[in-house]
Chains A and B, each alone.
Chain A
């Protein structure tokens, strides 16, 4: 019966994860992003080992020092080593970024998937609640939640996470709505698949692209959000190092000692850039249509 004439590519079977990694490896920008994230994670994990000084020890003899052999990135207004504070700060910032987005992604994603898949009154209820959340300015919402729960790292992450839930819920709902009307969902139902399997196996993987992009951006904005909160005293409590707090702390000395804001700023920028590159790469790698 089969009449095959055109030779077609045949591949060896790899695991789906390896498949994605192989494709990701072909994008230099994504690899660059991944490398930076690895460095940051390494710093965060081994902060005690690699940082040259304690991040909180004040040294009033060496205040406002510009970069030198002793202090590679200089010191701040209390003579604390900026490099060490940045290394320890990576711990806090990455934690806040990823966990807050994780909270937002899981809650928002589930809510969005449920409301997009079932539609009807359930959808209406969920989306109206999301609309209420969206109508409150995000920063205000975060401040209110942290004020209610009390300032701490965990509460900060929860607050930032909750404030981002509606965004994810909307994105996921939108893509679920467009995917659920596709015939392959009906085909899966005809094959006897359960609702849960349809959502997990067919809908979520096909709605990944916008979510991944949003998540990488979300990590960035969560880091910034946390920084803002630390600045007004609702986030990380001093003297604990945090990039955002360092940035705002150095702001008043920016004319005379720009290095105090420059390096935390660079750290935030580099992280966000790396996350964006990685996000773009992942989106392409996860899409079999773009595979070459």
Chain B
């Protein structure tokens, strides 16, 4: 596995939706890089723009009201945004695969699971039908489903098993990049543990890069190498897992960590970030977090902060906190 070779480089990505209430700034000037073989945890609350970014990479933004306004998505040295629809179809499911949140609705209920996997394989690999079905059986075994069950329909599987099938479909064509959008949110804790364990195992086996979208910092701690924290359409902090979990810098990241109840400690009142996520139609000026930030100054309302390096590989979009961190002051 060669690290540090950039596989995905997103530059200044902006995605807008038109709605009745105005323009929704779902993703606003997002920058992100992902090395080959790395797994990145993409963390944020509902409406932060995580899923939109993922759909943007897949070029699956609804053309009815959505639009990629600007930016570049460089995947293996090529800009995905300039590709034709036919070229994108080859890439989707082939080089870049996606796992959706709800396994209940992402499988076709009237098709047996082996056929669904084989369909994917047939689309992207030059193999015969029987070979594709055989490969489908292999994939199912790989994700821990017995081969006898390959002719079953999705409804005959439980939620956790269905998510395994979804993972099998995603991995069927040996993708270079796997985007998993909240893959375990719909599952129970013990089933989630099973699926996460499986994903860790497969990550080793396939050496694919992965973007794991989640709101759960615990899952990220479990299986990711790098973490990007997203707020109101932008990445506000980006680092390898260790530095981010030991030294969270951005005030939002710190607030996020604190508002999760700890299982080893008793606290009477959870520290909260006051207020709500800003309305994406009407983003605050300057730093989008400033109305909720306890340290905000006038400057924060005026200038949109850029990402700055606080320690090697650890970036945060808060010049004030980065400075404090470098000076070793308490935050």
- Residues of chain A at the chain B interface (Cβ within 8 Å): 3-6, 292
Q: Is B274 an interface position by the 8 A CB rule?
A: yes
What are 15 contact pairs spanning A and B, CB under 8 A? A3-B274, A3-B275, A4-B275, A5-B274, A5-B275, A5-B276, A5-B291, A5-B292, A6-B275, A6-B276, A6-B278, A6-B279, A6-B282, A292-B20, A292-B21
Kindly state the separation between the CA atoms of A6 and B282 in the bound complex, as whole angstroms: 10
Enumerate chain B residues within 8 angstroms of A5, measured Cβ to Cβ.
274-276, 291-292
B204-219 contact mask (Cβ, 8 Å, vs A): 1 or 0: 0000000000000000
Kindly state the separation between the CA atoms of A3 and B273 in the bound complex, as whole angstroms: 10
Q: How far is the CB of B47 from chain A (nearest CB, A)?
A: 12
| Interface of B (DSSP majority class) | loop
Kindly state the separation between the CA atoms of A209 and B304 in the bound complex, as whole angstroms: 46
Kindly state the separation between the CA atoms of A3 and B292 in the bound complex, as whole angstroms: 10
Enumerate chain A residues within 8 angstroms of B274, measured Cβ to Cβ.
3, 5
- Nearest residue (CB) in B for A4 is B275
Enumerate chain B residues within 8 angstroms of A3, measured Cβ to Cβ.
274-275
- Interface residues of B, CB < 8 Å — how many? 10
Enumerate chain A residues within 8 angstroms of B275, measured Cβ to Cβ.
3-6
- Nearest residue (CB) in B for A3 is B274
Kindly state the separation between the CA atoms of A46 and B226 in the bound complex, as whole angstroms: 79
Enumerate chain A residues within 8 angstroms of B276, measured Cβ to Cβ.
5-6
Enumerate chain A residues within 8 angstroms of B279, measured Cβ to Cβ.
6
Known: A6-B282, A292-B20. 4 other contacts (CB 8 A): A3-B275, A5-B274, A5-B276, A6-B276
Number of A-B contacts (CB under 8 A): 15
Task: Kindly identify, within residues 277 to 294 of chain B, every residue whose CB is under 8 Å from any CB belonging to chain A.
Answer: 278-279, 282, 291-292
Kindly state the separation between the CA atoms of A5 and B284 in the bound complex, as whole angstroms: 11
Enumerate chain B residues within 8 angstroms of A6, measured Cβ to Cβ.
275-276, 278-279, 282
Q: How far is the CB of B240 from chain A (nearest CB, A)?
A: 33
Enumerate chain A residues within 8 angstroms of B20, measured Cβ to Cβ.
292
Kindly state the separation between the CA atoms of A292 and B282 in the bound complex, as whole angstroms: 16
Q: How far is the CB of B154 from chain A (nearest CB, A)?
A: 23
The 4 closest A-B pairs by CB, nearest first: A5-B275, A3-B274, A5-B291, A3-B275
Kindly state the separation between the CA atoms of A5 and B296 in the bound complex, as whole angstroms: 14
Enumerate chain B residues within 8 angstroms of A4, measured Cβ to Cβ.
275
Kindly state the separation between the CA atoms of A191 and B149 in the bound complex, as whole angstroms: 47
Enumerate chain A residues within 8 angstroms of B278, measured Cβ to Cβ.
6
Q: How far is the CB of B259 from chain A (nearest CB, A)?
A: 13
Kindly state the separation between the CA atoms of A5 and B294 in the bound complex, as whole angstroms: 13
- Nearest residue (CB) in A for B21 is A292
Kindly state the separation between the CA atoms of A292 and B19 in the bound complex, as whole angstroms: 12
Kindly state the separation between the CA atoms of A3 and B274 in the bound complex, as whole angstroms: 6
Q: How far is the CB of B322 from chain A (nearest CB, A)?
A: 25
Kindly state the separation between the CA atoms of A6 and B274 in the bound complex, as whole angstroms: 11
Q: How far is the CB of B7 from chain A (nearest CB, A)?
A: 38
Kindly state the separation between the CA atoms of A34 and B177 in the bound complex, as whole angstroms: 57
Q: How far is the CB of A8 from chain B (nearest CB, A)?
A: 9
Q: How far is the CB of B46 from chain A (nearest CB, A)?
A: 15
- Nearest residue (CB) in B for A292 is B20
Q: How far is the CB of A7 from chain B (nearest CB, A)?
A: 9
- Nearest residue (CB) in A for B276 is A6
Q: How far is the CB of B130 from chain A (nearest CB, A)?
A: 44
Q: How far is the CB of A161 from chain B (nearest CB, A)?
A: 40
Kindly state the separation between the CA atoms of A292 and B20 in the bound complex, as whole angstroms: 8
Kindly state the separation between the CA atoms of A292 and B22 in the bound complex, as whole angstroms: 12
Kindly state the separation between the CA atoms of A217 and B199 in the bound complex, as whole angstroms: 54
B20-36 contact mask (Cβ, 8 Å, vs A): 1 or 0: 11000000000000000
Q: How far is the CB of A26 from chain B (nearest CB, A)?
A: 13
Enumerate chain B residues within 8 angstroms of A292, measured Cβ to Cβ.
20-21
Kindly state the separation between the CA atoms of A4 and B291 in the bound complex, as whole angstroms: 11
Q: How far is the CB of A11 from chain B (nearest CB, A)?
A: 16
Q: How far is the CB of A121 from chain B (nearest CB, A)?
A: 29
Task: Kindly identify, within residues 126 to 158 of chain B, every residue whose CB is under 8 Å from any CB belonging to chain A.
Answer: none
Q: How far is the CB of A289 from chain B (nearest CB, A)?
A: 12
- Nearest residue (CB) in A for B282 is A6
Of residues A4, A6, A292, which shows the largest number of chain B Cβ atoms within 10 Å of its Cβ?
Answer: A6
Task: Kindly identify, within residues 253 to 282 of chain B, every residue whose CB is under 8 Å from any CB belonging to chain A.
Answer: 274-276, 278-279, 282
- Nearest residue (CB) in A for B292 is A5
Q: How far is the CB of B233 from chain A (nearest CB, A)?
A: 16
Enumerate chain A residues within 8 angstroms of B21, measured Cβ to Cβ.
292
Q: How far is the CB of B316 from chain A (nearest CB, A)?
A: 22
Kindly state the separation between the CA atoms of A6 and B278 in the bound complex, as whole angstroms: 7
Q: How far is the CB of A269 from chain B (nearest CB, A)?
A: 32
Q: How far is the CB of B282 from chain A (nearest CB, A)?
A: 8
